[in-house]
A and B are shown apart, each in its own frame.
Chain A
Amino acid sequence: MLSGKIEEIKLQADSDLDSVKSLQDLESIRIKYLGKKGLLTEILKSLKTVDPSDRPAFGQSLNLTKREIETKIEEKKVQFEGQILAHNLSEKTMDITLPGKRIPRGKRHPITVVVDELVKIFRRLGFDIALGPDIETEYYNFEALNIPKYHPSRDMWATFWLENGLLLRTHTSPVQIRIMEKQKPPFAFVVPGRVYRRDDDITHSSVFHQLEGLMVDTNITFGDLKGVLTAFLHAVFGKNKKVRFRPSYFPFTEPSAEVDVECTSCGGKGCRICKETGWIEILGSGMVDPNVFGYVDIDPEKYSGFAFGLGIERIAMLKHGIDDIRLFYENDLRFLKQF
């Protein structure tokens, strides 16, 4: 008789569960059948009235039914929760294109950005950093670099003189001498810094930045100069850019070379930026002149080396397409925010 009752409860529960509409209703169904005073619980209580020999079979049937109902309730619950979640997700909408709350953050000056980038590349190539003073003596800026007084090549550097007889360095090259005076080869340095030229030309700035480089050891060759500077230019402008070395003249290097890179704007076809040549001059370089080694007491028969220099502003202008050097020193925030 009781087993018929179980069957009846099961059918009733099935029908209740089939028509349940909400999570709350589901909970009441659970209480109705499985709760402390639920229908199945009540039957369990009456187990003792069952004939002991029938009890195992009866208990088994009861448990089976209980589990079936539990499983169905659980299934329904998952189903309802899924529906509710889907509903909630679709309810909560927002304009995801509204601006974020930004924490104000400043930036480095584009010249610094370029200096840092170049220095990093040279560090990867084995160079250290050295720095030197802006105010220099004539000896370091000219004489020891093989540029004697009244030599016509001095015209290459329009110089600001101080009333105390010193001068504002016209290039970062004096640091070469300062390095070589202090230590013996091998060494490799790059020197970023401010330089000054008394140029009236509006395309020049009387204050600008250079990066100087120097590598000295036994057996450093012109081939090494080419290797290091090509690697550097590829790192800055891309591996596919052509690089060429063109004979030139600097009093402190011999042989000397200008280093050109394929025009960043037209790719070598010729345009306004490269003055129709397809090439852009980036670096001055050369093998350290034996006379310079003479000034710093390094034996030019034993050691050789190369030196180079480049203009930071020029690189920044090429990289970012900036057409007026004065923008760097005007410091308009609308300009600075672009880098």
Chain B
Amino acid sequence: MKVPIEWLKDFVNINIKADELASLLTMAGLETSVSAGNFLEVDILPNRGDCQSVLGVSREVCAVTGAKSKTSKTKIKEIKEKISSYLRVDVRDKKLCPRYMARVIKNVKIKESPQWLKERLESCGIRSINNVVDVTNYILLGYGQPMHAFDADKLQSLSGSFKQIIVRRASDCEPFKTLDGGEHKLTRDMLVIADLERIVAIAGVMGGKNTEVSDSTTTIVLESAYFNPLSISKTSKETKLRTESSARFEKAVDWNMVGRALDLGAQLIAELGNGDVLSGIIDIAEKRSAPKILDLRFSRLEQLLGIKIFPEVAVKILRRLGFKIIKKDNKKLKVEVPSFRISDIEREIDLIEEISRINGYDKILTTMPTFIKKSLGDDTLDKVSYIKEILAGSGLYEVQTFSIVDPNNADGSALKISNPMTSEASVMRTDIISGLLKVISHNIRHQINDIRIYEVGKIFMPGTPHQEKDIIAGAITFPKSSYFDVKGIVENLLYEFVDCFYVSSVNNNLLHPNESGEIKDIGWFGLLHPEVSKKWNFRQDIFVFQLDLTALFLAKKEKRYSKLPRFPKVERDLAMFVSSNSSHQKIVDLIKKFGGEFLEEVELFDIYKNSRAYRLSFRDKNSTLTDDIVNEKFNTIQKALEEHLGVEIRR
């Protein structure tokens, strides 16, 4: 909010430089900077509705500088004619409108506002309209009380005698055209100001075209009210009308300012438009409960802040902020909350905050807690870190992609966002691969042809209840990349968790049906399906993998040491032509089955077309193996391979 320093001086003496003042306010919770030398730009926190006016800011200035506020009494000149013979107000919903006040000004001449008024409004970014509307805005900015001026002649009369204002709820779908020309369909949760026949304003939000003050207006009904903050907030949201007025009502205006502002406004309108204020005031108000009295225990203050604040200091601060000290002893204070702070000062803790912020957070000594932990916490992050280390070692870069994705790239039943920003980002991802493909696509476009990436993150599985799954997904593509590159990455990772695993074929529409595999319960990997590849316009082969993080963590075994061998190993090379029904896995399984207790390792060391060469290592832990024993086993293995898998051993 923009506050002209000149205007501020109407309410408080300022004897310090603007910069200094801004810094004091900032350190008391009103983030303030100086603009153009003579304006304060004040950032008002959501709980400080009371600061949304020059007067409100001036109260904070008093609190931080210790200056006295200037108070002035409003003298209002009234003519004989009584308001009661001209206007009647019927408040039909006192819950939504706890206080409604009005005055009537007759014989007003609508014209331009005087220069000083125009300047003040325009310096705050409000366009000057005429001497009546400008006054309502002036009171709003200056005192924080929104007002509305109706052209009284446009209000329907009660059989020609009285003007009638009815404060009621709208009926569902009741139409209304606001001052800005907007057409609205209202609901019965919304409070409106109406005459006998129609709505003339959305209460506290915006007036209507139908009763707008124009050049020909002569009689003004000036409204000043206290509307239910929650109701204004709802209405403003639902009608999408955020106005200066609603911004103040929704944070509660000062109950005691409603009447004072009305007098100020009526008097000023009368002065600027040569009008006559009718005698009397309409004030339909709920009984206000007794003033709010709160206790403040000095012990509590010290317990929370960690420093002692002397009672005299607390008293001084509270007084400066407008609180009344009702009672004081050496244990506690009893204070009365000023009317303009009723909505945000409700508890002892609120008083503690007030004292601490005005006293200054810098006065609170820095200490270190003496703290004894009771638990060890979650170690997921450590485990994930471990995985990230392994993958970095395999040459993969970690990426982070959005969890809100295009429905075209997700499961049909993916969780939908009801208020997405764009339709391309409107469902929760059901896999990470599409995010990775987007990254690959971006990098290829930028002439990068060696791409190896992965992401660890959540996917969101639809259902009731839905499920958040931690997974790890990767994608690689580079010149001559192959199935074996992606499988190698997966193996590097998996062998840190398990001793062995089996790969079976997989049915997954992201993967090529033959050049891909699945590891039961843990995940899958392989060549991206040509259809998917085509959709993304990839010209190169992309290889992807996805692993379930939780399953991987569960599979993790403690590592057991096995004694280092003391006797030499004996190696035998085994070359063969394989048939189409014998896979590497089958060959290895068979070799192991027939290899006997001394077979230590089977390693595939050469592969060319259908020719395979394996190196078999034999070792006896307790003695040096003889050739005879090894040869016998080796022969058994060769025979078994020929018999069971139909391979042709090359001897």
Contact = CB atoms under 8 A, between A and B. Distances in A.
B230 A150 contact: yes
Contacts of B442: 330-332
A137 to B, nearest CB: 11
Given A126-B373, A220-B369, A331-B439, A206 B404 contact: yes
A194 B456 CA distance: 12
A251 B425 CA distance: 30
A133 B468 contact: yes
A207 B404 contact: yes
Given A160-B420, A329-B400, A332-B443, A129 B381 contact: yes
Q: How large is the interface on B (under 10, 10 to 19, 20 to 34, 35 or more residues)?
A: 35 or more
B369 A224 contact: yes
Contacts of A168: 404, 417
A329 B233 CA distance: 35
A186 B397 contact: no
A333 B306 CA distance: 49
B401 A329 contact: yes
A329 B399 CA distance: 8
B354 to A, nearest CB: 9
Interface string B220-244: 0000000001100110010000000
A224 to B, nearest CB: 4
Interface residues on A, range: 35 or more
Given A131-B378, A152-B251, A106 B418 contact: no
Contact of B369 (A130, A166, A198, A227): A227
Nearest to B49: A152
A192 B375 contact: no
A249 interface: yes
A334 B460 contact: no
Interface stretch (B21-29, B135-143, B500-508): B21-29
Given A116-B385, A135-B468, A163-B415, A217 B397 contact: no
Contact of A109 (B357, B398, B448, B464): B398
Interface in A309-339: 328-334, 336-337
A228 B369 contact: yes
Instruction: With a 10 A CB-CB cut-off, give which of A127, A192, A223, A251 has the most chain B CB atoms.
Output: A223
B539 interface: no
A5 interface: no
A215 B368 CA distance: 12
B377 A206 contact: no
Nearest to A194: B403
A134 to B, nearest CB: 6
Interface in A89-142: 103-109, 111-112, 116, 119, 126-131, 133-135
B374 to A, nearest CB: 6
A130 B45 CA distance: 30
Interface stretch (A43-51, A61-69, A240-248): A240-248
Chain A binding site: helix, strand, loop or mixed by DSSP? mixed
A80 interface: no
B567 interface: no
B230 A331 contact: no
A246 B27 contact: yes
Interface stretch (B73-81, B254-262, B387-395, B512-520): B387-395
B325 to A, nearest CB: 21
Contacts of B418: 161-163
Interface in A166-180: 166, 168
B313 interface: no
Contacts of B421: 198, 200, 206
Contacts of B45: 248-249
A70 B175 CA distance: 122
Contacts of B481: none
B607 interface: no
Given A134-B460, A206-B425, A304-B304, A128 B392 contact: no
B460 A135 contact: yes
A254 interface: yes
A246 B367 CA distance: 17
A187 interface: yes
A128 B377 contact: yes
A108 B165 CA distance: 67
A207 B312 CA distance: 49
A128 B373 contact: yes
Given A131-B380, A246-B31, A328-B400, A227 B368 contact: yes
A152 to B, nearest CB: 5
Contacts of B425: 206
Contacts of A156: 46
Interface stretch (B10-18, B153-161, B201-209, B358-366): B358-366
Contact of A186 (B26, B368, B374, B399): B374
Nearest to A199: B421
Contacts of A198: 419, 421
Contacts of B396: 106
Contact of B400 (A151, A215, A251, A331): A331
A-B pairs, top 10 by smallest CB distance, nearest first, are A128-B377, A221-B306, A223-B306, A247-B29, A104-B395, A247-B357, A249-B45, A223-B367, A331-B399, A255-B353
Given A112-B388, A183-B374, 13 more contacts: A119-B381, A134-B403, A163-B415, A168-B417, A206-B404, A222-B305, A247-B28, A249-B29, A255-B304, A256-B353, A287-B304, A332-B446, A334-B446
